[in-house]
Structure 1
Amino acid sequence: MSSKKGNYFDVSLVFFLFLLMICSCVTIFSAQKYAQYDDNFFLKQIIWFVLGIIIASCIFIFDFEQISKVTPFLYGFGLLLLIGILIAPSTLVPEINGAKSWYVVPGIGSIQPSEYMKIFLIMMLANVTSKHYERGDGDFILLLKIAAVSLPPVLLILLQNDFGSSLVMVVITIAVIFLSGINWRYILVIFMLILTTVGCLVATFLYNPDFLLNIFGEYQLNRIYSWLDPFEHGEGIGFQLKQSLLAIGSGMIDGKGLQQSNVYTPEAHSDFIFTIVAEEFGFIGASVVISLYFLIIYRMLGIAMYVRNTLYEFYICIGMVALFTFHTFQNIGMVTGLIPITGIPLLLMSYGGSSVMASMLGMGLVLNVSLKKRDFMFSSDK
């Protein structure tokens, strides 16, 4: 048996991403008839994808030693953008859908720093965790480092009333902790803290819901009420979810056909894009989209396994797996009524420049990881 060093580039991951982009453009083309705005979202989404591909391609110029060195600066820049959201005037940072999370730049459009911060957080967690093991410090010290990196962006985004994005960052952090190799006792304590926190929130909601206004705000609390009974609140806060359920149910097995949807759903081109998929292409079309996400996540896990001995690259892949897994579960779950609406997009399907370009930045990192040398077993040396 001999081994041979060769370049490994995950062409199948690129292919699945390309298929997802096609699905996105086709669905947005159909969904934009419901948009509350006059923009051509189909054309803009194509532009975002082109820019995203350019960003992902530029990542290949750098090796991971260079990327690791620049990571703290990107993380710091992301924090500054989040702080700016809180102190900028309303003309630059207007309130949209109950949250102040976007810079509105004339001639460019809206920029959502939290989407980029998710990628910067993944990079910073990977950087901190990998360097920690190089120094050989204890597990408790590692937990303190991870907390010091994760808490500032989570708290800043919570102050923007964007609970969904902060929850994504918490999930990414938990994924890195669980795979960081720390003592299981610490993980058990973290798991119990999570269960206790969730239990306390549920109990507070049942017996003293007004107290939660101090944490989530009235808009977020109303979303929970609308989730529990969307048809009772169907003319108010529950209208979006009610329409989504009606649209998905009307699609049945094979759907109504392209541009044949007739159930109006607000934000159908962005957060509720899966509603259009299910209505126009039915259960079959929805299953295809879900399968694409499964294959993308599966390929990223495969890449992570190939580089599991190089910790920085490994944790970047794990962070991206957590990001895509949670976004997919959360978005599809909220439009089907399984979990409360949190307003996070379906990555690379929903319309949005910040979401698309941040996702492609992360994908560029993963594909760059896949270019690392791999051992091929049972091959002859030439």
Structure 2
Amino acid sequence: MLRKFKLDSKLIKEIDFGMIVTIILITLIGVVNIYSAVGMGNAEKQFFFLIFSLVCLYFLLLIDYNILENYVVLFYWFNMLLLVLTKFVLGSEINGATGWIKLGPLSFQPSELAKIAMILMLAKKIQDYEGKINNLKNFVITAMYAVIPMGLIVIQPDMGMCMVSFFIALGIFFCVGLDGRIIVAGLFGLAVFIMTVWNSGLIKGYQKRRLISFLNPEGDPSGDGLQVTRALIGIGSGGFFGTGVQFGANAGKGYTDVFVPENHTDMIFSVLGEHWGTIGCIILLALYGILLYKMIKVAKASKDIFGSVIAVGMVSYFLFAILQHIGMNIAIMPITGITLPFMSYGGSSLLTTTLSVGLVINIGMRKKKINF
């Protein structure tokens, strides 16, 4: 019975343990910052989520990713149905968006899984079309599988997750060689789409003000610009070496710990900047750089289009999420509520990001035929 849950030694040799160590290190840095920001209770939960996520990652590695291809269509449409149910039946409103399902003391964000479903579906369709994405029919059909989840996420409304989904699709289409003219047309279409949604009434006035507050946070430092203004003060106060992480009775008394709203989720980078300083931010970015580099290597070495596109999709997701989260903490990107992968508090976010990397590891460890 236990043999079913044991990886073959030949496969174990192909595992990129560097990726696993990197995500553990980033998550542990996040746990320390969550402890500083909101206390031991949430830090303990995040550490538990880490252990649970690593166990799920192990079971994911047992399954050949090519077998998963057989269930992609079912997984995709299940997630689309879940998005519909979240909006109209099961969802709870948090920060103006009906995008969460509460399960007792826990909350789950279906759009986190939906973006993985979208990546898998795009990978399957592009493999079905043997990479011939510049064929108009192939492109339109494939693009629709990206448009559907984005549309369902917009009506929640969750512009941050919609932006993530769009740039995942853009990264995939760019890397598989989509004609540049189509990409430019897509960006133009995005601009029109944003203007339409902006004036549709889906986004409320206070949400609009929050989105554009980064352009002039000092204009309303106690209102819409409060979050980013205080985040900037906290990061600036950290200097090069940071103020240091305080434990025990001194925990939770730093500037960002007290004065920055959503400091353990949307603004976790500001907590890092204060307590760890520039050197801490550099270390974090270096760890992300290592992770992205390894994922890109897998994308290049994959034995098939399906695996390569999945890896590209995950790289696009992580790259945009990292740039967007850090950007909104330093006032160069709009405040969209995008969490920082492995750093921000949240069980569903940590699980899905861990499984995302797990898929890439799975592809890398099966990049060549292994004879048993």
Please report the TM-score for the alignment, with normalisation by the length of structure 2.
Answer: 0.88
Contact 1:99 1:160 in 2 (8 A): yes
Partner in structure 2 of residue 299 of structure 1 = 294
Contact 2:72 2:124 in 1 (8 A): yes
Per the alignment, do residues 201 and 169 of structure 1 end up closer, same or farther by CA in structure 2, a change over 3 Å counting?
A: closer
Match of 1:257 among 244, 263, 278: 244
1:26-175 mapped onto 2 (5 Å cutoff) = 26-33=32-39, 40-88=41-89, 92-107=90-105, 109-133=106-130, 139-175=135-171
Contact 2:214 2:335 in 1 (8 A): yes
Q: 1:315 corresponds to which letter in structure 2?
A: V
Q: Which range is displaced more, 9-18 or 345-354?
A: 9-18
Per the alignment, do residues 228 and 10 of structure 1 end up closer, same or farther by CA in structure 2, a change over 3 Å counting?
A: same
Contact 1:10 1:367 in 2 (8 A): yes
Deviation at 1:51, TM superposition (A): 1.3
CA distance in structure 1 between the partners assigned to 2:31 and 2:199 by the alignment: 39
Partner in structure 2 of residue 378 of structure 1 = none
Query: Is 1:363–2:357 an aligned residue pair?
Result: yes
CA distance in structure 2 between the partners assigned to 1:137 and 1:113 by the alignment: 28
Q: Name structure 1 gaps, 5 residues minimum.
A: 34-38, 376-382
Partner in structure 2 of residue 226 of structure 1 = 213
Q: 2:14 corresponds to which letter in structure 1?
A: Y
Query: Is 1:18–2:20 an aligned residue pair?
Result: no
Deviation at 1:262, TM superposition (A): 2.3
Per the alignment, do residues 181 and 225 of structure 1 end up closer, same or farther by CA in structure 2, a change over 3 Å counting?
A: closer
Map Cα deviations across residues 245-300 of structure 1 (whole Å, 9 max, x no partner).
11011111111010362241111111111111000011100111111111111110
Per the alignment, do residues 21 and 210 of structure 1 end up closer, same or farther by CA in structure 2, a change over 3 Å counting?
A: closer
Contact 1:8 1:374 in 2 (8 A): no
1:326-337 mapped onto 2 (5 Å cutoff) = 326-337=320-331
CA distance in structure 2 between the partners assigned to 1:176 and 1:112 by the alignment: 24
Deviation at 1:189, TM superposition (A): 2.9
CA distance in structure 2 between the partners assigned to 1:74 and 1:121 by the alignment: 9
Q: Name structure 2 gaps, 5 residues minimum.
A: 1-9, 247-252
Partner in structure 1 of residue 6 of structure 2 = none
Please report the TM-score for the alignment, with normalisation by the length of structure 1.
Answer: 0.86
CA distance in structure 2 between the partners assigned to 1:160 and 1:215 by the alignment: 8
Contact 1:102 1:111 in 2 (8 A): yes
C-alpha RMSD of the superposition: 2.3
Query: Is 1:354–2:348 an aligned residue pair?
Result: yes
Higher RCO by CA contacts (8 Å cutoff, separation 6 or greater): 1
CA distance in structure 1 between the partners assigned to 2:91 and 2:197 by the alignment: 28
Per the alignment, do residues 46 and 214 of structure 1 end up closer, same or farther by CA in structure 2, a change over 3 Å counting?
A: same
Deviation at 1:94, TM superposition (A): 2.5
CA distance in structure 1 between the partners assigned to 2:367 and 2:298 by the alignment: 11
Q: 2:262 corresponds to which letter in structure 1?
A: E
Per the alignment, do residues 347 and 211 of structure 1 end up closer, same or farther by CA in structure 2, a change over 3 Å counting?
A: closer
Q: 1:97 corresponds to which letter in structure 2?
A: N
Contact 2:133 2:139 in 1 (8 A): no
Per the alignment, do residues 160 and 141 of structure 1 end up closer, same or farther by CA in structure 2, a change over 3 Å counting?
A: same
Query: May I ask how many residue pairs the two structures share in their alignment?
Result: 351
Partner in structure 1 of residue 276 of structure 2 = 281
Contact 1:81 1:113 in 2 (8 A): yes
